[in-house]
A and B are shown apart, each in its own frame.
Chain A
C-alpha cells in the first residue's frame, strides 16, 4: 500500500526474525507466498536471507503475467496484427514471449500496440478513435477483474461498439488447490495475497485450513508485514493449528468487496478450464465474458488461432511456479534467460520469481546476513 521506513524498521525486523527463529526451533518449514507483489518485496529487501535456515519461502504462481501460456500470447498477437486494430495492454505483457515473438515484436512489425494503466484508458481510446477496433488484453487476478468489469459495463451503457476485451483473467483459489493437490507438495502454509483479498475477502481460503490442514495468513506488502505473517504462520504450526488469519487488517476485511464481487458475477462467467503455464489445465480457474457481454468478447469478434504451444525445452518455469526448484536452479537462469532476453515468463515481470531474483536476489547470503546484523 505504501512504502514507509517505519514498516522497514531494522529493529522491529530483527525482533521478528528472532521470534521466527525461536518458533521454528531448528525445524524445517516451507511457506508459499502466492502473490507476485510479495515475491518482489521478499527479494527486494532480502527477507529470505534474514530468515533462519530452516524457514523457506517458496514463490508461487501469483504473477498473472508469469502464468499466461504461450498460446494465449500467440492469440493476442494474432488479434493485434489484424487491420484496424488498436491493441492495448498492461506494461509487462508487451515483453512476454509467444512462439514467434512478443507483442513488442508485433509492434515493431507495425501493429498498433499501446500501454495502458487501466482498462478505462482503453475504453477512452475507443471513444476517441471511433474508426478503430480497440482491444484490451485483460490479465490479472480478482484485484484487476473488477476494473475490467466496470469498463465493460460502461462500454455497454454508452454503446461503445468498437471496444472489446481479450479476457485472460484468472482466479486465485483454483491454483492454490492445484498446488495443494500436487504430489510434490512440501508446503507447511501460505501467505495469502493482499489486494486480491480486498476483493474476495478471507472466506474463499477456508478450504486450505479445513480440507488440507494448512494455515494461511493474508499479508501486506511491506517487509514487516511479510515477517509478521511468517511469524503468525509459525505460531499456528507450533500450536498445531490450521486457521485462516489476516495480517493485512488495514486493508482487508473478512467479506471482501461485495460490490466488486457482484459486478464480476454479472460481467464474467467461469471458463470450464484454463491452461496455466507450468501448472497445466486447471478447471474453473479463469474468467470469460458472460453471454450478456458477448458483443464485447474479442475472442468472438476476431479469429484467434487458439493453438496450444508447448514451452521451450529449456524452460523450467513450471517447476519454479510450483516451488519445486528455485529460480537459480533453472539451467538457463542468468545465461540464456535474463530480463532483457526472457525465455520464460517468470523472467519478464519484475514480480516474476526469476526476474525478482535476478534483479535483487543475487546478494551473497553471508553479505546479506552481515548487513542485517549491522542495520
Chain B
C-alpha cells in the first residue's frame, strides 16, 4: 500500500473538461464559451443590481482594463443604464484592489493564466467577497481559479490580446449583462435553503486574508463577511497578505504566503 498524492491533472476535472469541451463552439467561439459567458453575465448583472462595482484589471495589457470599464460605464445603446466600472492600473495592482474593492463587488481580469499579479488578485478575491471573471488565452487556469472563466484555449495570449478575442469576450459580457437587466426576475440572488450554519457540523474552513499581525498570535483578517480577529498561533509563516483557512476562530493552515503588501 502507498500513500499517494493525486494532482488535479489530466485525469482530474481539467483533463476531463478538455474532452467535454471538445465539441466545436458556435460562431467561431471556443467550445462551451456561450454557456460560460452567459453564466458570467448573469452573475455580474446580479452584482450590479445589488449595488456592486466592477473593477477591471489587466496588468500586462492596461488598455483592456480601460476598455472593459468604458464599455460598462458608457451606455452606447439608448435606454441601457450606465454601470459602475473602474479600471485599476498595473501599478496600483493587488494592493490597490485590496483597498478599493468591497464585498459584493465584481472583478474582471484580462490576463494569461501565468500572469502573477492576476493570480494573486484572483486568489484573494474570495476573501474580499468578490465575484470574479477571468478572460484570457493559452493554457486554461486551474479549476476554481475564478468564479467564471472565459477562455481562448489553443491561442497565444499575446496574440489574442491584439486579435480582438478579448474585446469580443467582454463585448459579449457587456451585452449579455444588459440582456439580464431586461429580465428583472433574473436579478434576484437564488435563495438557497441551507439551514442554520454551524462551523463544526460543516467542517467549515473559511478563506480569509491576513491584514495585520496583533499580539499573542492574533491576526486581523479580511473575510467576505468583514473584518475579524483570529488566532494564528497554530501555524507558521503568517504575514500581511497571507491567505489562510479559518475554523472556529483559529487559523488551521496557510494556503498562500503574504507578499508584504
Contacts and interface: CB of A to CB of B under 8 A. Distances in A.
Interface string A350-370: 111001000110000000000
Interface string B195-228: 1111111111111000000001000000000000
Contacts of B234: 146, 150, 257, 259-260, 263
A189 to B, nearest CB: 13
Given A62-B203, A351-B202, A19 B16 contact: yes
Nearest to B21: A11
Contacts, number: 224
Interface stretch (A113-121, A173-181, A276-284, A299-307): A113-121
Given A1-B205, A243-B2, A6 B235 contact: no
A198 B252 contact: yes
Interface residues of B, number: 60
Nearest to A235: B11
Contacts of B203: 35-37, 62, 141, 143, 193-196, 221, 351
A12 B247 contact: no
Contact of B235 (A4, A141, A257): A257
A100 to B, nearest CB: 22
A9 B143 contact: yes
Contact of B201 (A209, A263, A350): A350
Contacts of A16: 13, 16
What is the predominant secondary structure among interface residues of chain B facing chain A? loop
B12 A245 contact: no
Contacts of B21: 11
Q: How large is the interface on A (under 10, 10 to 19, 20 to 34, 35 or more residues)?
A: 35 or more
Interface string B136-173: 00000001111111000000000000000000000000
Interface string A31-43: 0000111001000
A250 interface: yes
B140 to A, nearest CB: 10
A62 to B, nearest CB: 7
Nearest to B196: A91
A202 B3 contact: yes
A238 interface: no
**A-B complex: 5 closest residue pairs judged by Cβ atoms:** A118-B249, A350-B195, A15-B16, A140-B200, A92-B198
